[in-house]
Every structure is written in C-alpha cells, then in structure tokens.
C-alpha cells in the first residue's frame, strides 16, 4: 500500500530546475519509498545503507561514478562524503543537464555539511516530513492525529505502535546521533528529549532545563541543534516588525510528529479518546506541525512565526508572505466563544487574513475574522494561505 505524497509535485518541478535534487527528512518519513514509486521506471536506485554498495563505491570511486552518473538515486548519501565532490565534477562538466542526480539523507546535519562544501548552487533541497493529514485517507485521519503520521504506521493501522516508536528511538539514538555528535550520556539525552515533549508550545528556556536535569546549557544547546537537524523537533521563532523591545524573543518548541510526542509523554490513543485529551499544548503542536509540513512539501517561501508581547498578548502563528501577514489563533475548545477573536481585533499587522482554528464543527465569521474547524482549515490551507 502506498499513499501519494504532495511533495511528489515539488520533486518533479525541481528535476527540471536543478542538476541535483536533495531529499532530506527524519528517518522513516518515506523518502526512499516515494522516490522508488514515482520514478521506478526512470531512475536507477542505489542505497548506501547497503554495505555491498558502499564497497562497490570505495573499491573504485571514479569507476563507480562513471557508471552511475545519469538518472540515479543515491539513498542515504550522507554515509559517503567522498561522493559529493565527484557529483560536483559531473555536474560542472554539464551544468545545464538537469535532474540527473537525486540524493537522500536522514536529517540535515551531515547532508548540509557535504552540500555546503561541494554542491552549493547546484542542488535543490526538499524536506520530506511524516505524512500531512490530507495525505492520509479520511477514515484514518483522526487516529493519525494522536497515534502518528509516519507512513509505515499509517499503512499498518498503527499495529505495534509502541514497539515501533521504541525501535525508532533506539535506532535514532544508537545510529544517527553517533554520526552527528558525541553524546556520552544517553540517559541524560533521553531525559532532555522527554522534558522537551512535556513542554511543547512553550518558550524555550535552556537555563531552566539545565537546572532541572543537571546538564550544562552549552551541552543542551548542542543537543537541541542535533534534534532540530534530524527533524525530531523544530523551533518557531518570534515575529519582529518595528515593535521595539516589548516582545518575547525566545523561540517555542514543537515536535514534528504528534505520535512521537504522545509516545514520549506516555499518552495513549485510547486515553486521549476517552478523556478528550487533545487540548491545549497537544492541539497547538498538531496544528503548527501540520503548517510546517505543508510549507515544506509545497516548496512555499512563506515563513512562519509566533508573536507574544512581554504583557502576555499572543498570536499562535503568523505566516509572513513579505507583502502580507496572515494571523492564526489556535483554540482547543469544541465550542466557539466570542473572546477568541479579541486578540486578533487588537493586533493589526496590515494586509493579511485572520483565522481561528478550533475543534468545533461550525464556521463562524466575525467581521474579517473566520473561525474554522481544524480539519476544514487544513483542507483549504494550501489555496487560502500558502
């Protein structure tokens, strides 16, 4: 079973614009599967996860690249840093021969380093995240919110979900982290990860976390960078536009996949359904992560921020188009309340729409402010706001 991905359109577009296309994302986000399904009759596929392929390369790199230099997918290319300058040589010999190479990698830490050194200006990068809600069949969407949107989990209806996330984290910590950085205390790192999960949507305070778990701010900053580079988390930066020093300047923390978030915090799908737990932080994280995925997969140049003053006035999301700013308030309530739109009435950034996203079923319109059910909002989002 394969569910088509929205990023397929962006891959096709970039293959006509760049000599090299790079596909990055977290482990198991579906990069290899998507490319093999959409390009199976057009490209040769080789993965450097296979030690035989690695040996084939290292036995004679020049012979290898001479054989595989046209319409080829190099999966997990971050394992072979020597590959990148060879690809550069091929590209520079025929700069306008587009779409010959596709490179994939789990995370951006190593891939970014190799690309900046060898392929800058020659490669179009596409992040592929776990599935967006509108890529998942409608009958599975509600459960995906709680249980996770990694393609393998969705396809198998989340059977063995707990074991899957256990194995996922073990592979991530044991394999990916050791490539990215030297983490001597894996227990402390796992504690940090769970601490972040318990404090999603909050402004980041590394000094406070340092006091709580007994790890230096310098070390926490390095760990945070690794988690961000591997797309486990992302940071939402505050919005500034001629508003002086009244603004909160620390970023907010979000997880890319709410299934991993619920796993790390010990919440189970049945508990969430029975107790109506999708409130507050969890709901906000879900909506913001969906926005982030849609921006990535559409190739949109729209930038995403939040806004908060030192007096506590806050807008959850600002989509900055350059010439306008769309404002989005996120409310976990199942019923609309007039006070929801007060902050949007008070704060004005000029041109742009104003939206409220909530769990209620009705659409409410108050002057220029529209309140949507979150499912409906995510359906119309690409056309409306991106």
Encode pLDDT of 125-173 as tens digits: 999 999 999 999 999 998 999 899 999 999 999 999 999 999 999 888 8
- Residue 70 binned pLDDT confidence (cut-offs 50, 70, 90): very high
Tell me which H or E stretch contains 75.
strand 72-75
Q: How many CA atoms lie within 13 A of 54 on its CB side?
A: 10
- The owner of tokens 């010959």 is 100
- The owner of tokens 């894996």 is 186
pLDDT above 70 coverage of the chain, percent: 91
**Do 297 and 132 contact (CB within 8 A), yes or no?**
yes
How far is it, in rounded angstroms, from Cα 206 to Cα 224? 9
User: Helix or strand or coil: residue 280?
Assistant: helix
Of 269, 317, 298, 226, nearest to 26 by C-alpha is 226
Structure tokens at 221: 């900053």
Region of poorest pLDDT, from 58-67, 282-291, 331-340: 331-340
pLDDT given at position 177: 77
Of 202, 206, 200, 255, nearest to 232 by C-alpha is 255
Q: What is the CATH number of domain 7-127?
A: 3.40.50.300
Q: What does the domain layout of the chain look like in residue ranges?
A: 7-127, 133-385
- Residue 107 binned pLDDT confidence (cut-offs 50, 70, 90): confident
pLDDT at residue 275 above 60? no
**Do 359 and 283 contact (CB within 8 A), yes or no?**
yes
Of 288, 281, 312, nearest to 235 by C-alpha is 288
**Do 363 and 376 contact (CB within 8 A), yes or no?**
yes
How far is it, in rounded angstroms, from Cα 62 to Cα 40? 25
pLDDT given at position 328: 95
Q: Give the model confidence (pLDDT) of 228-273 as tens digits.
A: 999 999 999 998 765 555 566 789 999 999 999 999 998 765 555 5
Question: Rounded to whole angstroms, what are the CA distances from 78 to 115, 176, 193?
Answer: 10, 11, 24
What average pLDDT score do residues 196-208 get?
A: 95
What average pLDDT score do residues 66-71 get?
A: 96
DSSP 175: I
Q: Give the model confidence (pLDDT) of 374-386 as tens digits.
A: 999 998 776 666 6
pLDDT above 90 coverage of the chain, percent: 64
b/e per residue 307-324 (b: at least 16 CB within 10 A): bbeeeeeebbbbbbeeee
- Residue 189 binned pLDDT confidence (cut-offs 50, 70, 90): very high
How far is it, in rounded angstroms, from Cα 358 to Cα 356? 6
Q: What share of the chain is helix, strand, coil (3-state, %, to 5)?
A: 45, 20, 35
Determine phi and psi for 76, rounding to 5 degrees: 55, 50
**Do 158 and 147 contact (CB within 8 A), yes or no?**
yes
State the average pLDDT for the chain.
89
Q: Give the model confidence (pLDDT) of 337-375 as tens digits.
A: 888 888 888 877 778 889 999 999 888 888 889 999 999
Question: 270 or 34: which carries more pLDDT confidence?
Answer: 34
């Amino acid at each position: 079973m394969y569910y088509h991905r929205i990023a397929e359109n962006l891959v096709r577009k970039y293959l006509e614009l760049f000599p090299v296309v790079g596909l990055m994302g977290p482990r198991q986000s579906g990069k290899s599967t998507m490319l093999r399904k959409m390009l199976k009759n057009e490209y040769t596929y080789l993965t450097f996860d296979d030690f035989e392929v690695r040996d084939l390369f290292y036995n004679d790199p020049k012979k290898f690249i001479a054989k595989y230099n046209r319409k080829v997918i190099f999966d997990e290319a971050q394992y072979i840093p020597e590959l990148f300058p060879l690809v550069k040589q091929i590209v520079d010999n025929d700069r306008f021969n587009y779409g010959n190479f596709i490179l994939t990698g789990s995370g951006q830490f190593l891939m970014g380093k190799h690309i900046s050194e060898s392929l800058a200006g020659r490669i179009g990068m596409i992040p592929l995240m776990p599935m967006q809600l509108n890529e998942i069949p409608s009958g599975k969407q509600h459960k995906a919110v709680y249980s996770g949107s990694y393609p393998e989990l969705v396809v198998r209806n989340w059977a063995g979900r707990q074991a899957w996330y256990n194995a996922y984290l073990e592979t991530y910590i044991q394999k990916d982290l050791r490539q990215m950085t030297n983490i001597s205390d894996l227990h402390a790192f796992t504690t940090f990860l769970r601490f972040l999960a318990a404090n999603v949507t909050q402004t980041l305070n590394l000094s406070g976390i340092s006091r709580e778990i007994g790890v230096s701010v310098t070390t926490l900053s390095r760990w945070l960078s690794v988690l961000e580079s591997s797309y486990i988390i992302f940071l939402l930066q505050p919005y500034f536009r001629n508003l002086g020093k009244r603004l909160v300047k620390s970023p907010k923390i979000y997880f890319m996949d709410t299934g991993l978030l619920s796993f790390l915090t010990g919440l189970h799908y049945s508990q969430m359904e029975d107790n109506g737990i999708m409130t507050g932080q969890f709901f906000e994280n879900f909506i913001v992560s969906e926005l982030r995925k849609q921006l990535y997969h559409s190739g949109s140049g729209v930038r995403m921020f939040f806004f908060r003053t030192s007096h506590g006035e806050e807008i959850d999301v600002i989509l900055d188009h350059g010439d306008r700013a769309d404002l989005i308030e996120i409310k976990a309530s199942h019923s609309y309340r007039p006070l929801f739109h007060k902050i949007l009435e008070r704060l004005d950034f000029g041109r742009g729409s104003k939206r409220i996203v909530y769990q209620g079923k009705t659409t409410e319109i108050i002057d220029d402010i529209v309140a949507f059910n979150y499912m409906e909002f995510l359906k119309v989002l690409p056309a409306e706001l991106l």
